Amino acid sequence: MLSIKNLRASVEGKEILKGINLEIKAGEVHAIMGPNGSGKSTLANILAGKSDYEVLEGEVTFLGQNLLELSPEIRSRSGLFLSFQYPVEIPGVPMVNFLKASVNEHRKFKGLDPLTAGEFLKLMRAKKDMLHLDTELTNRSVNEGFSGGEKKKNEIFQMAMLEPKLAILDETDSGLDIDALRVVAEGVNALKTTENATIVVTHYQRLLDYIVPDFVHVLYKGRIVKSGGKELAFELEEKGYDWIKNGEN
């Protein structure tokens, strides 16, 4: 589904990613872990198409397409979803209008008719029930005045509405209390099928108690320095990142 080959990228002249290689297949959950500043969020943002980064080398193929050539909106419509580390507040844009525009752009891309207002509300209700969300969120402007937990739940709700093929969860656990974490994780698990894949970007092992990865990769100084199964996460939790850092020497 996603193939990253020797990806090097910089921001403001500073090289952050120094040759990333990663293969992700449908049905898989990959966790990318690493200490602060290792390049985790950079990788997530580059995959989603943020323009602040310069790709120096390498290629990324997503469902057979050259991902790096696509605009962020086409990446999204093609089935890539980034759950933001810091979801932005957009006062004045009602959640409902935003989501309806988003869902209908995705449908248009697939050659489907736009949903009517009624159909859309029905879909929204079904997804809310599925994620056990309170109805409050959709009556407001996008993320406006939301707590950290609400913002992250809202991201998962958008994910449920858009049903992406590849979801990248960037530090979805940061700023969440244990209850919110559980809601978010249950949502992600509920949306999991054999057809889609998930990349969980996280600093801590905590989230991986709830979203169990098939593979764990450790990113350090812009490179994946270690890959393994879910037991790697426990090892990291136990030994800390110093273990990786020391292993470098």
Interface contacts to other proteins, rule CB under 8 A: 48-51, 71-73, 75-77, 82, 84, 87-88, 90-93, 97-98, 101-102, 105-106, 109, 141-142, 158, 162
Pick between residue 57 and residue 73 the one whose CB is nearest to other proteins. Answer: 73
- Please name the residues in contact with 198: beta carbons below 8 A apart, sequence gap of 6 or more: 28, 29, 30, 166, 167, 168, 169, 188, 192, 211
Pick between residue 66 and residue 71 the one whose CB is nearest to other proteins. Answer: 71
Pick between residue 23 and residue 144 the one whose CB is nearest to other proteins. Answer: 144
User: Min. distance of Cβ 170 from other proteins in angstroms?
Assistant: 11
Structure tokens at 78: 């093609």
Query: Is the distance from CB of 58 to CB of 5 less than 8 angstroms?
Result: yes
Pick between residue 91 and residue 240 the one whose CB is nearest to other proteins. Answer: 91
User: Min. distance of Cβ 220 from other proteins in angstroms?
Assistant: 27
What does DSSP assign to residue 165?
S
User: Min. distance of Cβ 14 from other proteins in angstroms?
Assistant: 20
User: Min. distance of Cβ 123 from other proteins in angstroms?
Assistant: 15
DSSP string, 170-194: ESTTTT--HHHHHHHHHHHHHH--S
> 121: buried, middle or exposed (CB in 10 Å: 19+, 13-18, 0-12)?
middle
